[in-house]
A and B are shown apart, each in its own frame.
Chain A
Amino acid sequence: MLDFNVLIPETAEPDKLWDLIILGGGPAGLTAGIYAARYKLETLLLEKSIVSGGQLTATQWIENYPGFREPVLGKKLAADMEAQAKHFGLKVISENVQSVNLADEIKEIETDYAKYQAKTVIIATGSSPRRLGLSDEQKYAGNGVSYCSTCDAPFFKDKVVAVVGGGNTAFEEALFITKYASQLYLIHRREEFTADRIFQDKVFAEPNIKIITNSVVTGLNFDLQVGRSLNLQNTISKESSELEVDGIFIFIGNLPNTALFTQQLELDEGYVVTNRKYETNQKGVWAIGDVQKGVLRQVATAVGDGAGAAHQVNKYLVENH
């Protein structure tokens, strides 16, 4: 079945003083946008991709988001959230935020194309996939190394692939990738997995998935298009081995997208430090979703954060302006 997405980048007046600018259009930012627009705050959401939804668009099915007895397509959930937010008047612009000035009363946000000003800012820039850290990992990204199964799994039809990771994402994506791959090796550095039981049961029942535990990937032998392999090392016996694969998908957690804020916000291991009201150490700046320190990183929690922070922003604007 063919589907057709209608997403057209808009532009916004740069001279306006916005009540609120939201950075990032994942589930956290979009939900904050829905609430802010309904509070009738003049709200601008800046999202670098033309497709909102953040990591929601990088996965096929979401099974644990309340309200959907049948799994819901990540990209459908994302598109619906965006349409709902726009329906209430949220302005969504697809521009990449380049720099920010959060210290002053009026916050300044600069993108590749314009500078915007706001009374308050919500940071919802989410996170990006963590890399394994191998020397030629970057070189083969898009050519054998992947972090997005909905994007790249179809290129591995009837091929042999490795999936690295032991959490929910690795397990869920492995199940999706086996629909294409003829053989899948799930490689994890420990004996035990952190993935939910429900995913583990499904993966273990899959005849095409072979589990390799206590092993780390130490090298990619990807020079040629055929006859590729991985170097593995057993973390206990320290023995090395080689595993023939055509490609590798890496799902070993995330890193927060906070490079923009290092000089201006209190961060801990890169994550933004917030309190229970989503406040950061800067007055008039809140942070929600995956970027925060010490939270569960899920769609349901991101959405809850968005609602909560928009409420805080509204209260702040009523009291201070």
Chain B
Amino acid sequence: MPMLDEKVMSEVKKVLAAMREPVTLRLYTQELECAYCKDTHTLLDELVEANPLLKLEVIKFDEVKEDAAKEGIDKLPAIVVVGERDYGIRFYGIPAGYEFSALLNAILMVSTKIVKLTDETKEFLAKLDKPVHLQVYVTPTCPYCPPSVILAHQLAMASKMVRADMVEASEFPHLVQKYSVQGVPRTVINEKWFVEGAAPEAMVIAKIKEALLDA
């Protein structure tokens, strides 16, 4: 039985019909010690069938470890959504449940280059000259999570200084421990600052500003 049943697949096709430029999903996997690598691989295999502009590139993590580390890839499975360039949009763990929508959103965004951010945010990003790393901790069953992920990915798309990760909490217990995640969404900014819940755009930007001032 396929992972994406007929009904879901037809919805996906409809949604991805809006794609303009080609998009590559770069999947980093390994065979051992990765609970969701196989499922994620199957999922993406099926997903790329939905539109010819969508390609999958599978990379064996152990063969490229050092290069991957330079791009900040440090856990598996990892999906990098690449368009004209790598915008810093990453998914760690399987993008299932509500997060599947976040993945489709990232694909559309990279493909159409349309971001929906306020003018204030765009101005702030244009002047941003320090790196910002956003990690959004989620679970697939959390309905409030995709907006936080989508926002983070939009910021990455709009600025070369921003890298934005979706992290599926249940697959990375050590990180859940490290950042004391006991509720989702929880956005971690540059390792040390936190935003709880599905905060609106202005609030996330304010917190990023705070993090940069303090750093």
Contact = CB atoms under 8 A, between A and B. Distances in A.
A49 B143 contact: yes
B116 A142 contact: no
A210 B144 CA distance: 30
A151 B182 contact: no
B143 A152 contact: no
Interface string A103-121: 0000000001100000000
A6 B140 CA distance: 13
Interface stretch (B23-31, B67-75, B93-101): B93-101
Given A3-B97, A4-B96, A6-B8, A151 B184 contact: yes
B100 A4 contact: yes
Nearest to A8: B15
B100 to A, nearest CB: 4
A6 B104 contact: yes
B15 A6 contact: yes
Contacts of B11: 6
Nearest to B103: A4
A51 B140 CA distance: 13
B37 interface: no
Chain A, interface size: which category? 35 or more
Interface in A1-52: 2-9, 11, 49-51
A126 interface: no
Given A58-B143, A150-B142, A154-B170, A142 B97 contact: no
Q: Which of A4, A7, A8 has the most CB of B within 10 A?
A: A4
Interface in B32-50: 39, 43
A8 B101 contact: yes
B146 A51 contact: yes
A154 B143 contact: no
B175 interface: no
A151 B101 contact: no
The DSSP consensus for interface residues of chain A is loop
A148 interface: yes
Contacts of A151: 139, 141-145, 183-184
Contact of B176 (A50, A94, A155): A155
A232 B200 CA distance: 34
A144 interface: yes
A143 interface: yes
A7 B102 CA distance: 8
B196 A141 contact: yes
A75 B180 contact: no
Contacts of A247: 182
A292 interface: no
Nearest to A146: B183
A141 B194 CA distance: 11
A21 to B, nearest CB: 19
A225 interface: yes
Contacts of A145: 183
Given A5-B101, A51-B146, A151-B144, A142 B170 contact: no
Contact of A49 (B105, B141, B147): B147
Contacts of B143: 49, 51, 53, 57-58, 75, 150-151
B100 A5 contact: yes
Contact of B180 (A9, A57, A148, A225): A225
B150 A143 contact: no
A29 to B, nearest CB: 15
A96 B176 CA distance: 29
A142 B197 contact: yes
Nearest to B96: A2
A274 B98 CA distance: 35
B208 interface: no
A245 to B, nearest CB: 12
B136 interface: no
Contacts of B196: 141-143
Interface string B146-174: 11001000000000000000000110000
Contacts of A6: 8, 11-12, 15, 100-101, 104
5 contacts: A2-B140, A141-B197, A143-B183, A151-B183, A152-B182
| A-B residue pairs, 7 tightest by C-beta | A142-B183, A57-B143, A142-B196, A4-B100, A51-B143, A6-B11, A7-B101
Given A4-B96, A9-B150, A141-B197, 7 more contacts: A3-B96, A7-B101, A49-B198, A53-B143, A112-B118, A150-B143, A151-B184
